[in-house]
Structure 1
Amino acid sequence: MQHHKKNSPKTKRPNISQYTVKEPAELLPFLLHKQSNLGRNAVKSILARGQVSVNGRVVTEYNCPLVPGQTVTINKDKVAEEPQLVGLTILHEDEDIIVIQKDAGLLSIASPQENEITAYRQLTSHVRSKDPKGRIFVVHRLDRDTSGVMMFAKSEKVQQLLQNSWQESVKDRSYVALVEGQVKKPEGTISSWLKESSTLKMYSSSRPNDGQHAVTHYKVMQSNKNFSLLEVHLETGRKNQIRVHMQDLGHPIVGDKKYGSRSKAIHRLGLHARVLAFVHPTTGQLLRFESTIPKSFLNPFRQSPS
């Protein structure tokens, strides 16, 4: 006896409903009326998942105006298109924050002149694929050519909470920097007042209170006569702080032409945000995110085969 045939799947009818619009309406009330067996939240999530189209075009806005003669299609089999993330990986996401690892080369957010793809823009699409009203708020930035861990807020309230308590909330913000030359002191602290020149380049002033106070701590992890790999802790987070301070130290970051580097040893900037540890703004929990040191940073220290 062959029992196994009983479980063979029946050809499933596609789960598609089509309606013709008879009178002007907004999309959400129209769907609630047509799908009266579903609750409001269920209909909202069908919309958010991109399963509703009007005349063949996917629409997610609740208040999309409908006019007589249009065709509204609901396809519950359609899997939501999660936008592809380019140059970043999400490490953590909850109702309040998103923590990512950013690749070198990706802008955190665009300046008014630039219209290219950014971490900010991609994460906005990502949250909107689940909630059409979703938004993203900038908490801190990484330079375009710096890779590593960074965080965004999902509401203005959380952004404010984080920015107002940044010094207390952030328990560890450490980077690895590949710099030119052999750093002699195994560890040290650089302290200066940072200012911005008319060409938007930051520089250190030795005059107290002349600019923004910046403090950087470093430890040598590995070095040879050409390069040093440093672990860098920020006490303050000023624009280009580590890059200026490494130049001040006489050991500019590899690939940082703007701040004195002549080496292109790794074909990118030798700066990576390795650790971000902070107290969660609403749960109070201590979260810690650590990303691996880019392999290219370690290449200068590999023994060359004899």
Structure 2
Amino acid sequence: METIEIIVDEQDNERVDAFLASELDDVSRSYIKKLIKKDLVRVNDKKVKPKYIVSQGDIIVVQLPEPKKLEIKPEDIPIEIVYEDEDVAVVNKPQGMVVHPAPGHHSGTLVNALLYHLDSLSSINGIIRPGIVHRIDKDTSGLLMIAKNNNAHNKLSEQLKEHTITRRYYALVKGNIKEDSGTVNAPVGRHPVDRKKMAVTNKNSKNAVTHFTVLERFGDYSLIEAKLETGRTHQIRVHMKYIKHPIVGDPVYGSKNQKFKLNGQLLHAKVIGFNHPRTDEYMEFDSELPEHFQRVLNVLEKDRAK
């Protein structure tokens, strides 16, 4: 059983179950409630209820049971492997594919495909996330680094922490951005009301910086390149909504009016660059925009030419 201690550093009038759901990665609020009922969450060494309001200085101790061992099976799912050697691989994830299994969703993921197509994967992130150093959302397409051994995993993770990984995304956003380029420097954390969403907030948030450049304008739409300085959950999607230019097709942060009949946001991880974990040589990879993204650009190009 893993024990985690968290000290509340500010007064925010938040329930303990909501607070912990925002503090702990991949742990839902409903699961936190179950832990509280089992007396596996204590505040100041006292048993509490989920509705307990945390206060500045509270010491919260959470005991997380060992996860049930899941059998993640290799699956012959076609994936585009852009590069591979004995230490790393770079894959181009399609839109609609989940990166790794989760409770209740054990198949059809990128990890299932990697287990079939690659001869080895790092084990640092456990049975559910072998080889996974970083993630992109299910409906975001594009390039991901994969670690094939633990040494490579550690080296790539360190580069992520130091913000030395090159990550450039293409996105089609709503509205005509007047500036040719800009920077959004706004902290991102769990949405204060809807815990499934992220938001720009000063409460329980982390520093987040996105640089963007306008590549092309299509009247009511702008094609941008976004460069991540930090890598928070949903960062580009949240930041573009924050500056009132949400990503087209985004079902969570975008407009409910769907003009192009999309299945998700037009956001593509186009370029990734890193120092090779064994040779320290800088490597950079580029990918074409996927068909569904290019189709919309073609429509906008034709409309502009009329």
TM-score by length of 2: 0.66
SS in 2 for 1:242: helix
The answer to whether structure 1 residue 218 and structure 2 residue 212 are counterparts is yes
Residue of structure 2 aligned with 1:262, choices 256, 267, 284:
256
Q: Does the 8 A contact of 2:95 with 2:139 survive in 1?
A: yes
SS in 1 for 2:210: strand
> How many angstroms apart in 2 are the aligned matches of 1:297 and 1:233?
22
SS in 1 for 2:297: helix
Q: Does the 8 A contact of 2:163 with 2:230 survive in 1?
A: no
Q: Percent identity?
A: 35
1:266 Cα deviation from its structure 2 partner: 5.5
Query: How do 1:129-148 residues align onto structure 2 when only pairs under 5 Å count?
Result: 136-148=130-142
> How many angstroms apart in 2 are the aligned matches of 1:230 and 1:266?
21
Match of residue 302 from structure 1: 301
> How many angstroms apart in 2 are the aligned matches of 1:158 and 1:168?
15
Query: How do 1:68-217 residues align onto structure 2 when only pairs under 5 Å count?
Result: 84-86=76-78, 88-128=79-119, 136-168=130-162, 170-197=164-191, 199-205=195-201, 207=202, 210-217=204-211
1:282 Cα deviation from its structure 2 partner: 0.9
Q: Does the 8 A contact of 1:162 with 1:169 survive in 2?
A: no
1:96 Cα deviation from its structure 2 partner: 0.8
1:150 Cα deviation from its structure 2 partner: 0.6
SS in 1 for 2:77: coil
> How many angstroms apart in 2 are the aligned matches of 1:216 and 1:253?
14
Match of residue 273 from structure 2: 277
Q: CA separation of 1:282/1:266 partners in 2, compared to 1, >3 Å: closer, same or farther?
A: farther
After superposition, give the CA deviation of every residue in 1:195-217 in whole Å (9 maximum; x if it has no partner).
Answer: 11352210111x3x841110001
Q: Does the 8 A contact of 1:178 with 1:297 survive in 2?
A: no
Q: Does the 8 A contact of 1:124 with 1:134 survive in 2?
A: no
After superposition, give the CA deviation of every residue in 1:153-178 in whole Å (9 maximum; x if it has no partner).
Answer: 01122212211232547442100001
Q: Does the 8 A contact of 2:163 with 2:229 survive in 1?
A: no
Q: Does the 8 A contact of 1:254 with 1:262 survive in 2?
A: no
Q: Does the 8 A contact of 2:213 with 2:225 survive in 1?
A: yes
> How many angstroms apart in 1 are the aligned matches of 2:122 and 2:208?
35
Q: Does the 8 A contact of 2:95 with 2:141 survive in 1?
A: yes
Match of residue 79 from structure 1: none
SS in 2 for 1:258: coil
Count residues in correspondence: 219
Unaligned runs of 5+ in 2: 1-73, 124-129
Q: CA separation of 1:171/1:199 partners in 2, compared to 1, >3 Å: closer, same or farther?
A: closer
TM-score by length of 1: 0.66
1:125 Cα deviation from its structure 2 partner: 1.6
Q: Does the 8 A contact of 1:127 with 1:134 survive in 2?
A: no
1:142 Cα deviation from its structure 2 partner: 0.8
Structure 2 letter corresponding to 1:117: G
> How many angstroms apart in 1 are the aligned matches of 2:77 and 2:223?
30
Q: Does the 8 A contact of 1:174 with 1:275 survive in 2?
A: yes
> How many angstroms apart in 1 are the aligned matches of 2:150 and 2:285?
23
SS in 2 for 1:152: strand
SS in 1 for 2:302: coil
Q: Does the 8 A contact of 2:270 with 2:289 survive in 1?
A: yes
After superposition, give the CA deviation of every residue in 1:11-39 in whole Å (9 maximum; x if it has no partner).
Answer: xxxxxxxxxxxxxxxxxxxxxxxxxxxxx
Q: CA separation of 1:266/1:91 partners in 2, compared to 1, >3 Å: closer, same or farther?
A: farther
Match of residue 230 from structure 1: 224
Q: CA separation of 1:232/1:297 partners in 2, compared to 1, >3 Å: closer, same or farther?
A: farther
Q: Does the 8 A contact of 1:91 with 1:99 survive in 2?
A: yes
- Point out 4+ residue stretches in structure 1 off by more than 3 angstroms: 82-85, 133-136, 167-171
Match of residue 289 from structure 1: 285
After superposition, give the CA deviation of every residue in 1:80-110 in whole Å (9 maximum; x if it has no partner).
Answer: xx97433x30001111111000110011112
> How many angstroms apart in 2 are the aligned matches of 1:170 and 1:125?
30
Query: How do 1:23-62 residues align onto structure 2 when only pairs under 5 Å count?
Result: none
More off after superposition, 296-305 vs 110-119: 296-305
Structure 2 letter corresponding to 1:92: Y
Match of residue 65 from structure 2: none
Structure 1 letter corresponding to 2:117: H
